[in-house]
Structure formats: C-alpha cells, structure tokens
Amino acid sequence: MSRFFASRFSRSVIRLLTVLLIPGNIFSNTLKPNDEEQSMPPTRSEIPLKNKWNVEALYSDPSTWSQELAAVKGKAESPRWPEMKTFQGRLGDPKAMSELLSYYFSLDRKLSKLATYAHLRLDEDLGNDEFKRNYGLITSVNHDFRMESAWLEPEILALSDDAIHRLLGEPSLAPYRFHFERIFRMRPHTLSSDKEELLALSGKALEASYKAFAALNNADMTFAPAVDSKGVEHSLTNGTYGSMIHSPDRALRKSTMLNLHLGYQNHINTLCELLQGQTQTHLFNARARNFNDCITAALFSHKIDPAVVYRLIESVKKGRAFMEEYLTLRKSILKVDALHAYDLSSPLVEEASMKLTYDEACQAVVDSVAPLGQAYQDALRKGLMQDRWVDPYENAKKRSGAYSSGCYDSMPYILMNFHGTLYDTMTLAHEAGHSMHSFLSRKKQPYIYAQYPIFVAEVASTFNEQLLMDHLMKKAKTKKEKAYLINDQIDRIRGTIFRQTLFAEFELKIHQLAEQGQPLTPSLLNRIYTDLMKEYYGPQFVMDKEIEVEWARIPHFYYDFYVYQYATGVSAAMALHEQVLKSPAARDRYIAFLSSGGSKYPLELLKEAGVDMTTSAPVDAALKRFGYLIQELKKNLE
C-alpha cells in the first residue's frame, strides 16, 4: 500500500503525542520523603480496574483478539487476500472500483481495530512477551496488506482522463471524490506497480530505527537516582522526571536533569545511529518518490508548503526579545547567578500549590469546556468519568509520556502517567482535546475521512489547555495564584512555540545534512543542538555540557516533520480560542472544524474555522500574547 492509502500508521493513528516534550511550568513538588516514596511504580496487576482504560471494549481478552486476527488476516501464504487481485486491470469500470473500495476499506477498518488493541496492550507493559508477540503479528499482517495493495494507486493513476471523468461522475463513487483528488495530486510521485510493491516490501525494515528507539527509551533505559538538597535519593524514570524537574529544590532539579541526560549519554552512539537510520529512511522515501527534499515529501500529501515551516522559524526568531525578557525576569525572581536548563521549569510562586487528585482533575477539565456547549461537555464527562477512556497511572514498564489514540470503532483512548501536579491536569486537558476531536470526527465522518490530518491535530489539544487555564484563572483568589497560572501560560508558549520550533529547526538541519550526504555523528548532533539552544534562549541561558545530548531523547524526531505542528497548532488554537469566547457563530465554526476529520486539506479546514496559517499573523499574535503575559506576571508579582 502506498503512503496515501489507509494504513495502520495513518488511520489507526498511533499518535504518540508525548507531551513530556511540552514543558509546563510551575508545579508543586509532589515527592514524598524517601521512607514514604514508592521506589518503583506498581505492576500492572496492582492497578485497580477502575483506573485502567477500557480496552476490553475492543476485545474482551487477547484470545478473542487472536480469533478475530485469524478471521481477518487471510491466507497463510501469499497473497493473503486473493480477492483484491481480482480487481486488477478493471479499475476503469465504476462498478468494479466501487466494489474494490468497499472491500478495501472494510478490511482496513478491521485491521485498524486489531492494531489499536495490540498497541494499547503493549503500551500497558512494554516488557510483556505476549503483547510484544501480538503487536508483531498485526504489524506483519499490516505490512502484507500494504504490499498486496501497492498496485492500487499506480493503476488508478494510469487511467485515461476519460476513465477518470467517468469515475468522478459515478454516483456510487461520490463519497470518494476528495480521496481521488488526493491520489491524483500524487501522480508525479507515484511509481509503477512493481516499484510500489518493492517500497511496501521495505516498510517493515525501515521501521526498525523507530522501534529500537522506542524499546530503548521506554523499557531498557535506566538512570541514576536523583538526589535532593538533603542528600535523599529519588527514583528517576521518564515518568517521575516530569514531577522532579518542577521541584522548588534546585539541587533536586539539577540532579534530575543531569542524571537523566547522562543516561542518554551512556548510549549516545547507539542513539545517534538510530536517529541517522530514521533520517535516512525519510530521505530514501523522499528520493524514491521523486521529491527534491525530505520536508517537501513529508508535507506534500496534506498540501502544506514548506514555506509554512520556514516562516514559523523566521517569526519565532524575530520574537526572541520576548524570550530574553522572560529569562531575565526568571533569573531575577529565582535569585540565581546563572540560568540553567534545570531552572526553566522551577516554581516562581511556591505558595500556589495546585495538586489535584485524578478525579478532581477530570472534574476541572470537564467544567472548563463549558464554552464549547452542553453536548461537547456531556460527551467528555461521560468519556472521562464513566466509559474509562483514560489509563491514568504509571505502572512498571508502561510507556512514558501521554497520548490520545484509537480507531474508528473504538473510544478515543488516553494514556497518561498521572502524578497529581497541575502539569498532569493540563496534560489531561491536552489529550482530552485530541480525544474529543477524534470522537466528533468519527461521529460525523465516514471511515475514509474520520482521521484528521496531523497539521490540525494540536489545535484541539492546545485549545482545551487554554480553556482549562481560563477556568483556573477565574477561581484564583490572590495575585500569587494568578501569577502562578500566568507563568504556566508563559511557559506553555515557551514550550510549544519556542522549544518546538527549535526542535523543528534541528530536524530540518539534520535532514538537510543527510540530503547533502554528510553523516551524522554524536559530536555533530551535539554541536547543532547546542548552537540552537544558545540562539533561541540568548545570553541569559547557560548550556550545561550534559544537555548537549538532549536531542537523543526526543521521540518526535522519528515522526517525519511532525514537531513544528505543535507551534503552528498552539498559534491557531490561541486565535480560535479568542474568537470562540466572543461569538456563538465562531463556536459553531469550531465545533464544525472538530467534526470535519480529514474531509478537506488542513489549511482549508483551519481557514473555514477562522484562522489563516499561510500567513505569519497567527504566530506573530501568539508571540505578542507571550509578551503581554510577561507584563501581567510582573504586575501580579509586585
């Protein structure tokens, strides 16, 4: 299957939106003294059923899943699905095309459901051999599906103009017109049938770098304990890192950050080769499909001009004065001689502790979305509080970070590692935004258009973060509480617009080096990353030697130009948020946007919702908002 037909990755959407990369700001230290601290997270079996996502709603148990896989995976020998081949050479006939698409998407939908269950169960426990085996099985079947359907697009694109005209005029094919439009747009980049089959055959091997990184990062990586100012050790994992890096104890923050990155430094050569392998994968696919460069190849299918990324980088660099102003303020408030990476997320208002239980966090998120209407609020309340969309708590060998995932026939599942901080509550709001986007798109769109394009994915999530912040600001009783929340907003903009744009430029640079035939080495990657950190954060920031390797722990570098969309997404969300609060008509447009799935190109979807991302205006406005919030923080700290 070529990249523009449905696949497990594009349609089942294992969208690992690992929000640990979007740093929050000012959270109370939730760590307990060493004698009370749980040194290791509980096993999966020790987590109560009510605190686990309802994956049984997909399949009651692994054996039921295995039975369904046996029924769907076709024959053991090749071809697995000989029925598909019977349509080859007949796609100019509208009836045959209609029958093929019906068969194809029916099979794809079943495989998507199977893949969703397998990856959810594996993410519960990355060390579980049965879950690893099942995930490997469905990955293999999906690979065969891609390979056996690789002839489809080349044959469609080989049709005469008259045949294409007949297809587009056939009433039974009317639901597929936008799908055909996207295929026909790919004509210059679609290969002959045998070459498409060869590319599909390579797919499993080309996933090796990402899979190896995920296994190392989530299951095998270990770190020395972090030590606080009293000499007490705290277990350091990717899950506990988020809490400890926001501690008011500077010694603990420093130990946490440096020990985490030393863990990656210990594997730097392996991690360099994995990232190089993934970059070469992107380059191979771009050149195989006759694209000039990797970024054009990554953005082409969604009709996004690379100028959007270049314009983003340019706009953010023009706004660096705001960053320097904020870091100067932060340095003054913290009363430190030098500002290090471990000082960027420390609490500026220690008294404003906002630790919440998971149930309290759910209630706050539900209350905050009232501006989106009763129907939206009721659906989210039911999902979070009754239907068990969420797997909230960390357990041994569970995937780190957080994401929203699922398929057309599932609830929009949310993985978290909840520790009770405001950061975790904001993470819940973020992922709930993704999940409600998925919920509404699946409810309103047919299967073929239910998955929204990744360019708009971060809009709904950051929109809901802003709604939660509005809700909390209204409840704030003192200037210090308001300052606490304002600073959180500031650092979320810092974390999404500045930091993610830095990541985007790093990703762009390493792909450009690969395009020029220059091999990536640890020292080269360290130097590129260090130079960007200094450029984006300015003279107030001290770059510790250990942080040079931070690039090695960023999973989004394996996603093929995904990360810039955090910055464009938050900019679009801020613009839409302002409109929705002022106008019921804007709210209706926004709900329609959430319900549109992938029925249009992403820039068109956003334009209809009320924001034009082909200009620099949304990013410029977001940076202006950043500057305004800095002044508001100063006022509330007086």
pLDDT above 50 (res 15)? no
The answer to whether 252 touches 30, Cβ cutoff 8 Å, is no
The answer to whether 17 touches 457, Cβ cutoff 8 Å, is yes
- The residue type of 633 is L
What per-residue confidence (pLDDT) applies to 39?
A: 55
Name the pLDDT band for 480 (thresholds 50, 70, 90): confident
**Each residue's pLDDT tens digit, 140-181:** 999 999 999 989 988 998 898 888 888 988 999 999 999 999
Beta strands in 406-511 (DSSP E): 413-415
**Each residue's pLDDT tens digit, 514-556:** 999 999 999 999 999 999 999 999 998 999 999 999 999 999 9
Over its C-alpha atoms, the chain yields an Rg (Å, rounded) of 24
Mean pLDDT score, 495-504:
95
Q: Which residue has the tokens 């349509």?
A: 87
- Cβ neighbour number for residue 344 with a 10 Å cutoff: 21
**Beta strands 226-227 and 403-405, pairing class:** unpaired
Tell me if 412 is assigned to some domain. yes
**Beta strands 403-405 and 413-415, pairing class:** antiparallel
Boundary residue ending a domain (178, 195, 212): 195
φ, ψ for residue 185, nearest 5 deg: -65, -25
Mean pLDDT over all residues of the chain? 90
pLDDT above 60 (res 31)? no
DSSP 192: -
More confident residue, 502 or 17: 502
- Domain assignment of residue 145, given as a range: 53-195
Asked about 46 being catalytic, the answer comes back as no
What per-residue confidence (pLDDT) applies to 35?
A: 34
Tell me if 301 is assigned to some domain. no
Nearest Cα neighbor of 488 from 427, 415, 403 is 427
Mean pLDDT score, 456-461:
93
Tell me if 191 is assigned to some domain. yes
Burial (0-12, 13-18, 19+ Cβ within 10 Å), 317: middle
CA 532 → CA 268, 293, 505, 509, distances in Å? 19, 22, 8, 10
Helix axes 129-148, 94-124, angle to 10 degrees: 160
pLDDT above 70 (res 293)? yes
**Each residue's pLDDT tens digit, 97-143:** 999 999 999 999 999 999 999 999 999 999 999 999 999 999 999 99
CATH code of the domain containing 181: 1.20.140.70
pLDDT above 60 (res 6)? no
**Each residue's pLDDT tens digit, 366-416:** 999 999 999 999 999 999 999 999 999 999 999 988 999 999 999 999 999
**66: which 2 tokens?**
């295995």
What per-residue confidence (pLDDT) applies to 239?
A: 79
**Each residue's pLDDT tens digit, 559-606:** 999 999 999 999 999 999 999 999 999 999 999 999 999 999 999 999
pLDDT above 80 (res 501)? yes
The answer to whether 418 touches 393, Cβ cutoff 8 Å, is yes
**Each residue's pLDDT tens digit, 236-261:** 998 789 889 989 999 999 999 999 99
**Each residue's pLDDT tens digit, 297-346:** 999 989 999 999 999 999 999 999 999 999 999 999 999 999 999 999 88
Helix (H, G, I), strand (E, B) or coil at 339: strand
The answer to whether 322 touches 630, Cβ cutoff 8 Å, is yes
pLDDT above 60 (res 87)? yes
CA 564 → CA 278, 310, 574, distances in Å? 18, 10, 16
DSSP 387: S
Largest CA distance in the chain: 79
**Each residue's pLDDT tens digit, 195-251:** 888 888 888 889 999 999 999 998 889 999 999 999 999 999 987 898 899 899 999
Catalytic residue (one of 197, 431, 481, 550): 431
The answer to whether 30 touches 421, Cβ cutoff 8 Å, is yes
Angle at 178 (CA atoms; ends 177, 182), nearest 5 degrees: 120
Mean pLDDT score, 420-430:
91
Mean pLDDT score, 502-525:
98
Tell me if 47 is assigned to some domain. no
Tell me if 340 is assigned to some domain. no
Name the pLDDT band for 17 (thresholds 50, 70, 90): very low
Boundary residue ending a domain (195, 210, 232): 195
Instruction: Compute the Cα dihedral for 625, 628, 634, 637 and give only its sign.
Output: negative
The answer to whether 623 touches 575, Cβ cutoff 8 Å, is no
What per-residue confidence (pLDDT) applies to 224?
A: 97
φ, ψ for residue 415, nearest 5 deg: -100, 135
pLDDT above 80 (res 612)? yes
What per-residue confidence (pLDDT) applies to 352?
A: 54
Tell me if 398 is assigned to some domain. yes
Tell me if 624 is assigned to some domain. yes
Number of domains in the chain: 2
Name the pLDDT band for 351 (thresholds 50, 70, 90): low
Name the pLDDT band for 608 (thresholds 50, 70, 90): very high
φ, ψ for residue 312, nearest 5 deg: -60, -50
Tell me if 411 is assigned to some domain. yes
**266: which 2 tokens?**
């210990």
Boundary residue ending a domain (171, 195, 219): 195
Burial (0-12, 13-18, 19+ Cβ within 10 Å), 199: buried
How many angstroms from the chain centroid is the CA of residue 40?
Answer: 27
